[in-house]
Amino acid sequence: MPCAEARAEAWRLAYELKGSRVEIDEQSIEKSGPQITWRERQVMLPPVSEPNSLRMVREIQWRKQADCRKQQVKILSHAAFSEDDALVGYEGVRPSKAIISPFPRLTLPERKSIEALCGRATSDNHLSEPARDSPTVPSAGQDLMPIIPR
């Protein structure tokens, strides 16, 4: 029997990229003043090879934090999972040590997604309709490489 305190995941499409889709766990959205924290995942369609281990990566999950007032976002942690849900790599940092990215440096779909989270978090903590922008990227594998731990 599942624990009564267990939180169910509620993944919702945020945007699509060439070879993958990005989803946000609506149940993970937390707001504290101008700060919002959430879980996000990128599902590879089809899975891609991770260059160091040569394992096929199906999914990357992030824990992100945005400061809606300053228009900045931080990646607090990320984990890569193989086709059989085995952990391929994980890295986490303290929020004070995380690298800050200003919203203008993000891709358009990423920026729209975070802006929707910032705007909607004050009202009902649910995402607006998913962005259907499909930017052209060199390949899903090239997008993946900077975020898989070496």
Percent of the chain with pLDDT over 70: 74
Quick one: CA dihedral 104, 72, 147, 32, positive or negative? negative
Instruction: Provide the pLDDT confidence category of residue 133 given band limits of 50, 70 and 90.
Output: very low
Q: Is pLDDT above 80 for 125?
A: no
| Residue 46, token pair as written in the block | 């089809």
59 and 50 Cβ atoms separated by less than 8 Å: no
Residue 69 has pLDDT above 90, yes or no: yes
Model pTM greater than 0.75? no
Q: What is the pLDDT of residue 95?
A: 87
Which of 34-48, 106-120, 124-138 shows the lowest mean pLDDT across its residues?
A: 124-138
In this model, does residue 131 exceed pLDDT 90?
no
- Predicted confidence band at 135 (pLDDT cuts at 50, 70, 90)? very low
pLDDT 10s digits, 13-67? 999 989 999 999 999 999 999 999 999 999 999 999 888 778 899 999 999 999 9
Question: What secondary structure letter does DSSP report for 149?
Answer: -
Which domains can be identified in the chain, with CATH numbers?
Answer: 11-142 (2.40.128)
CB 14 within 8 A of CB 22: yes
